[in-house]
Amino acid sequence: MINKKLRSGTVLALLLLSAAMLHVPRAYADVQAKVVKIERLTHDVKRIRFRAANDDFKFTAGQFILLKLPESYLKEFNKEHGTNHENVSRPYSFASAPSEAPYFDVIIKHYPAPRDKDVPPGLASSFVHEKLHAGDAVTFSDPMGSLYMPNDSTDPIILVAGGVGASPFIGLLKHWFDEKLNEKRKIYLFFGANSRRDLFLLDDLNDWSRSKANFEYVPALSRPDPADEWKGETGYINVVLGKHFEGPLAADVYLAGAPIMVSETIKILHAKGVPDSRIHHDPIKVE
Ligand SMILES: Cc1cc2nc3c(=O)[nH]c(=O)nc-3n(C[C@H](O)[C@H](O)[C@H](O)COP(=O)(O)OP(=O)(O)OC[C@H]3O[C@@H](n4cnc5c(N)ncnc54)[C@H](O)[C@@H]3O)c2cc1C
């Protein structure tokens, strides 16, 4: 079921579907992998490169994988925070091209405890940001999901990301450049973040927009810091997208980010006549 891409009608439908279909516990096969490299991309985002133990490890563009948290870490976390977690997995999107397997990247944002609440910090993201080191071995599920649905259209492809939602799009863009899809279709990446310090891989994306045919990168800041001296687009990414394309729009659109960003962008796409069959995103929750 999880492998079936959800096409959204309304946010309510999405929430009901995810509740009904995605919370069903399942048994997944295991993938063992070792951390090859950890890079800090922003103040709260890291990119981790893994190598799967199995040389034949494969995934398809747009998939994600479940990181299984070690029981020893869960015990330590439970003791420190008075929680009772066991058998916890969290989904993370591939941020590298399938051609790089058995190596693969994930880009993970850290969620510390909110300052105004007495609650524990993010369980999985704290493990990745605070406990994981090069050389460590971890366990994942088999790859799953099918965000990318190839078709024969030559209409533009539009990627709309909020924050760490850009992560699967880094993998998709690498794949599409490998496949030279940008020679057949115009590809846009709209990347929304709060301020300049939240935009990751800015240099790579700017390089691609100069060197790759038909690729346009549109970063936008919703709360630019005056120190950013930001000259680019400002405002929420859905609004920036709406202004960029006047009138009806014929395109395949991929969305990733906070549920509110996804639902607001879908409203704009519907107003521009983009049918649900051309609007793609991952399930909002996977367990
Ligand atoms: C298909 C899919 C793909 C994804 N891909 C990525 C990706 O590529 N990169 C990425 O970074 N993320 C991705 N995610 C999100 C990711 O799976 C995790 O949800 C995210 O890392 C947070 O998990 P966590 O365990 O760190 O936080 P959690 O433990 O779930 O906590 C989240 C927040 O809630 C707070 N909290 C904890 N307990 C309470 C409480 N009792 N009351 C109120 N607040 C509380 C925590 O302090 C934290 O700030 C993806 C999600 C999906 C569904």
Phi, psi of 147 (to 5 degrees): -60, -40
Q: What would the mean pLDDT of 9-34 be, rounded to a whole number?
A: 53
Q: Percentage of residues in the chain with pLDDT exceeding 70?
A: 90
pLDDT at 287: 66
Q: Whose CA is nearest to atom 30 of ligand 1?
A: 122
Region 176-187: what's the mean pLDDT? 98
Ligand 1 atom nearest to CA at 126:
26
Residue 24's pLDDT band (boundaries 50, 70, 90)?
very low
Assign residue 56 the CATH number of its domain: 2.40.30.10
For residue 281 and ligand 1, the question of a CB distance below 6 A is answered with no
Is residue 8 scored above 60 in pLDDT? Answer: no
Residue type, 85: H
pLDDT of 18 > 90? The answer is no
CB of 125 sitting under 6 A from ligand 1: yes
Find out whether the beta carbon of 160 lies less than 6 Å from any atom of ligand 1: no
178 and 129 in a common domain: no
Residue 20 included in any domain: no
In this prediction, residue 11 carries a pLDDT of 39
Supply the pLDDT for residue 17: 39
Q: CB of 8 closer than 6 A to ligand 1?
A: no
Minimum CA distance residue for ligand 1 atom 4:
92
Q: Total domain count for the chain?
A: 2
Same structural domain, 136 and 38? yes
CATH code for position 200: 3.40.50.80
Q: Decide whether any atom of ligand 1 lies within 6 Å of the 92 Cβ.
A: yes
Whether residue 4 is contained in a domain is answered as no
Domain that holds residue 234: 157-280
In a domain, 164, yes or no: yes
pTM exceeding 0.85: yes
Whether residues 136 and 172 share a domain: the answer is no
218-275 per-position pLDDT tens digit: 999 999 999 989 999 999 999 999 999 999 999 999 999 999 999 999 999 999 999 9
How sure is the predictor about 35, in pLDDT bands with cuts at 50, 70 and 90?
very high
pLDDT tens-digit readout, 124-167: 999 999 999 999 999 999 999 999 989 999 999 999 999 999 99
* Same domain, residue pair 59 and 127: yes
